[in-house]
Chain A
Amino acid sequence: EDQVTQSPEALRLQEGESSSLNCSYTVSGLRGLFWYRQDPGKGPEFLFTLYSAGEEKEKERLKATLTKKESFLHITAPKPEDSATYLCAVQAGNTDKLIFGTGTRLQVFP
């Protein structure tokens, strides 16, 4: 069965303290891996798509990487406005549905 696991469940960082979020997946025929950010009471906001192992994408303080078994979301020198839940999702096989992990709740303190 296709599965996505995110760790840690929650992460508290001091402003400027860099860290990484992990997304490990077990799927048949990965077509794409997606990172989203979700603020309380809002829908997920698209961040990155990664298609193949070795690929990297960057946006401001965020950098996403992909291997054959997992993806990392690196946050460099985070700010309080980076506080949110970060969701990882995969598309696999012949379906467009997204299979989501349970997310990492990030809190950045000034």
Chain B
Amino acid sequence: KAGVTQTPRYLIKTRGQQVTLSCSPISGHRSVSWYQQTPGQGLQFLFEYFSETQRNKGNFPGRFSGRQFSNSRSEMNVSTLELGDSALYLCASSRLGTGPYEQYFGPGTRLTVT
């Protein structure tokens, strides 16, 4: 069974630009969550989508947004990039949107903002 895939794997952007990251969950998984990982803050929750609806949102500014498509694939967008947005962005999928089901992570997208 294929795991969670994320594209692109690496990205270099300039301050002020915007970026879109993509995530394809494990087949049959309908819940997709996004996390930001930095050396200083560790892994922090961005948002979660289930059946094309955002169910939870973390404490990030409105420049961070996402969406989910009918095939459960998800994208996240960051507008007006800042240097502090440089991080590893991780996508995780789980089987259902309820219950303490484990989340499986993709390899991440390494975003560097210059």
Contacts and interface: CB of A to CB of B under 8 A. Distances in A.
Interface of A: 31-32, 34, 36, 41-46, 49, 51, 87, 89, 91, 95-103
Nearest to B42: A102
B interface, over-half SS: strand
Interface residues of B, number: 28
Contact of A103 (B42, B56, B97, B101): B42
Interface in B18-69: 31, 33, 35, 42-45, 48, 55-56, 58
B4 interface: yes
B90 interface: yes
Contacts of A103: 42
Given A42-B108, A51-B100, A96 B43 contact: no
A96 B55 contact: yes
A53 B74 CA distance: 35
Contacts of A98: 33, 35, 43, 45, 92, 103
A75 B104 CA distance: 22
Nearest to B96: A96
Contacts of A44: 43, 90, 105
Contacts of A96: 31, 33, 48, 55-56, 94, 97-98, 101, 103
